[in-house]
Amino acid sequence: MDPVQQLALEAWLESSREGLLVASETGTVFLMNPRLKQLLQLKTVPKTVEQLLQQTRLASPELRAVLTSDEPITQKKWGTLRLQHHPARWISWEQMPLMQDGKMSGTVTVFREAAEQEGQVELAKQSFLSMISHDLRTPIAALQLTLETLRNGALDDPSMARRLLENMCIQADALQQLASELFDLSQIESGQVLLKFVPIAPLAIVEPVIERLRPQADRKSLQVVLTLAGAEPVLADPEQVQKVVANLLHNAIKFSAVGRRVGIRLVTIQCQDGAITATTDIPLPTPPVGLADGQWALFTVWDEGPGIAASELPRIFERFYKGDRARLRSSETGAGLGLSIARHIILGHGGQIWAESAPGQGARFFFTLPVA
């Protein structure tokens, strides 16, 4: 590179509104521009990615996952993440492999304030309004039709009246779920949810949720199975984690056929070098990338429903993502917010949340919480 090109590159790096990080495959920082130091509030340029994460007080689990992923990068990736202590501040990122002699030698990651993408923000708002309008119209229309049928004489037929009232309960549940998810999402993304960690037994978290949702299970003659396999107390915000359990169990009930089973399993696991073990013989899932070494409580919520296609699994925790309609066989469709909220809550606890499934084999959702 001649001197003019060198000066041009340095000028661009100094003035760019995008943060740039070039790191080796082993985590050595090759290059960082001033904008990234500003975004992450760094006082000095760290020598390694690990030092970067230790120096910035904004290092959220999501940022750590982007910069320390063990998965080989073969093509460009992108996404958005929130910074620790600034939950309303979103950063978008793009990452691509750094190739040398045909082999990957590192990564190039570009960060920018998500607010700069005004066009995308506006599209997201329009999409949000469209989806919420649709999800409100469906249960409201069903309630109106049911009430009209009752008013036109169905009340005189006890059997039909019971069926129609059952349908009204289902639609009312859908409206209540939507309102609850919208409120929770607005609280989380505005930074108004402050987690209150206390030591608590996992059983004390899940039992109240099971009892609260038992009427929904009873309406479909579902058996709710609770398996406790030596789960140690966890450090958690019980109210927030109960929202996660409630969402997962509500989904399990919703996607199950009449007379089947749903369940929750609790077990303590040990994670070491990406592998997990337990003192019981309960089958364990494949752990996700990013699960830290140490002792964790593993929560599993399972069902015997239609399952989820492998192609859908990477996206089910995205906001508004509803997946293949083949899985949504009932009229109880949601807004696609619950799993996104669950992910925010579990990441806020330092845990991980993921799923395993196959069409026709039910679904198993897992999340971890740190042992107290």
- Cα 247 to chain centroid, rounded: 11
76-91 pLDDT per residue, tens:
888 887 777 655 567 8
Domain match, 267 and 335 both: yes
Per-residue confidence (pLDDT) for residue 199, from 0 to 100? 95
Same domain, 372 and 242: yes
Can you give the residue range of the structural domain that contains 303? Answer: 194-372
Task: Identify whether residues 359 and 339 lie together within a single domain.
Answer: yes
Residues 135 and 244 in one domain: no
Q: What is the mean pLDDT of residues 284-310?
A: 91
Residue 181 lies inside a defined structural domain of this protein: yes
Indicate if the pLDDT at residue 11 is higher than 80. no
Q: Is residue 91 part of a domain?
A: yes
Handedness of CA 8, 11, 15, 21 (dihedral sign): positive
> What is the pLDDT at residue 357?
92
pLDDT digits (tens, 9 = 90+) for 191-206: 666 788 999 999 999 9
Question: Which CATH number does the domain housing residue 157 bear?
Answer: 1.10.287.130
CB-based burial of residue 43 (10 Å sphere; 0-12 exposed, 13-18 middle, 19+ buried)?
A: exposed
| Each residue's pLDDT tens digit, 106-142 | 899 999 876 544 445 555 566 666 666 767 777 788 8
Are residues 320 and 262 both part of a single domain? yes
Number of folded domains that form the chain? 3
Q: What is the pLDDT of residue 324?
A: 54
pLDDT of 116 reads 46
Residues 290 and 275 occupy one common structural domain: yes
C-alpha to C-alpha distances, 190 to 88, 186, 187, 215, nearest whole angstrom: 5, 6, 5, 33
The pTM assigned to this predicted structure is: 0.58
Task: Compare 204 and 144 and report the one with higher pLDDT.
Answer: 204
Question: Residue 60 has what pLDDT?
Answer: 78
Count of beta carbons in the 10 Å neighbourhood of residue 76: 10
How does strand 261-272 pair with strand 223-229? Answer: parallel
Last residue of a domain, one of 71, 93, 114: 114
Residue 313 belongs to domain with CATH number: 3.30.565.10
Residues 6+ apart with CB under 8 A from 175: 136, 139, 140
Cα distances from 137 to residues 131, 184, 249, 329, in angstroms, run: 10, 21, 25, 18
Q: Is 10 part of any domain?
A: no
Same domain, 306 and 336: yes
* 357 and 231 assigned to the same domain: yes
pLDDT at 330: 41
Please report whether residue 99 resides in a domain: yes
Whether 285 is covered by a domain: the verdict is: yes
How many CA atoms lie less than 13 Å away from 178 in the CB half-sphere? 22
**Tens-digit pLDDT profile for residues 249-283:** 999 999 999 999 999 999 999 999 889 999 888 88
pLDDT at 51: 92
**For position 329, what pLDDT does the model report?**
42
pLDDT at 335: 59
